[in-house]
Amino acid sequence: MAPPAADVDLTSPPAVDSIPVTKSVANNTTKDSTTKEPLKYSGSLDEYKSFDVTNVIGREFPELQLSSILNDDTKVRDLAILVSQRGVVFFRNQDLNIDDQKVLGQKLGELTGKPETSKLHRHALSNSKRGIAVDENGKLDDEVSVISSEQNRKFYKERFSPATKRLASEGWHADITFERIPSDYAILKIVSPATDAGGDTLWASGYELYDRLSPAFQKLAEGLTATHFQPNFVKVSKQFGAELIEGDRGAPENSGLDFTASHPVVRTNPVTGWKSLFGAGHQIFHGGFDGVTERESDILKAYFNQLISDNHDLQVRFRWNKNDLAIWDNRSVFHTATNDYSGKRQGNRVVSLGEKPYFDPKSVSRREALAAQA
């Protein structure tokens, strides 16, 4: 999305000694990495018109109003499973209000087995302290990240200008992976789209990224962890005097101002049981791969980012209209905004927190799973 303030850092690479030191982890599986059966879609949403946007990623429901299924747990659970399978699902002209958007965000994770301690994320910077209302009544809410072009331009200036000379591919990321308990699902509703033709968002499939690796590189990636680090919040706080949320940001583990976490480079999605490349994109720009040399880390960063940006056939692009909504699975997709517009663009993003990332060596890739079903 247009990154909520500082989800994507936009400054030059730091000196080596500014990167947090993370201990090498020989085995990136965790005590939570017990083999789980993938969840099965029951078919409850088949009555609604829908279509796959590409073969690899994305589905759209052009007519379904999410408000009509909010109280049907079977359909909400099936929706979560579809989102995890397809990566991102789109809905047009939604009447869902912000309170119901929050209910839906929490239900998607709860109905698919997330820990009881995982709630909605309270963004350290893009929260109610910025004074941006989330509805027409002037409501402020820490559990809603307001995606504001005006705020992004204030904090990051040239990077969010349509006249920027920066590479757009710098923006690829998954949300809040610097948290020890990062996101499972995110819901974004654009309430004020760009008035010109710009402001599209792109998503890329982490499942397909994993499948693009050779067996040797898959094995390498499966044995690695990476440090996800976001220094920009503290920089913005100091420069603009913006107060940060330091305490419980939706899960007990998400506290402090270090904004640093080490996660498996290949992550198993518990809903699908599929492997996804997770340690890639901008979230490891200021961190890196654990237990390897600086040069090796830089090579892996560049290659994995190239896989995202150079493969248009594992991406999907969405043109926003007013009140359009997207739901995506941050465990298995990357996304980036297109900053090619000059007017105001604003949306409300609700981010659910999921499980501690893990890699299950018994999990399979998306291609393997689909081939077994054929």
Q: Is residue 236 part of a domain?
A: yes
Per the structure, how many domains does the chain have? 1
Report the mean per-residue pLDDT for the chain: 88
Q: Give pLDDT tens digits for 127-185.
A: 777 777 777 878 788 899 888 666 655 555 666 666 677 777 888 999 999 999 999 99
**Is 50 exceeded by the pLDDT of residue 17?**
no
Q: Is residue 348 part of a domain?
A: yes
Q: CATH number of the domain that 324 lies in?
A: 3.60.130.10
| pTM (two decimals) | 0.89
Q: Is residue 79 part of a domain?
A: yes
Q: Is residue 187 part of a domain?
A: yes
Handedness of CA 47, 50, 51, 56 (dihedral sign): negative
The pLDDT of residue 21 is: 35
The pLDDT of residue 202 is: 98
Q: Give pLDDT tens digits for 281-314.
A: 999 999 999 999 999 999 999 999 999 999 999 9
Q: 31 and 178 in contact (C-beta within 8 Å)? A: no
Q: Is residue 10 part of a domain?
A: no
Q: Give pLDDT tens digits for 210-240.
A: 999 999 999 999 999 999 999 988 888 888 8
Q: Is residue 6 part of a domain?
A: no
Q: Is residue 67 part of a domain?
A: yes
Q: Which domain holds residue 330?
A: 25-373
Q: Is residue 17 part of a domain?
A: no
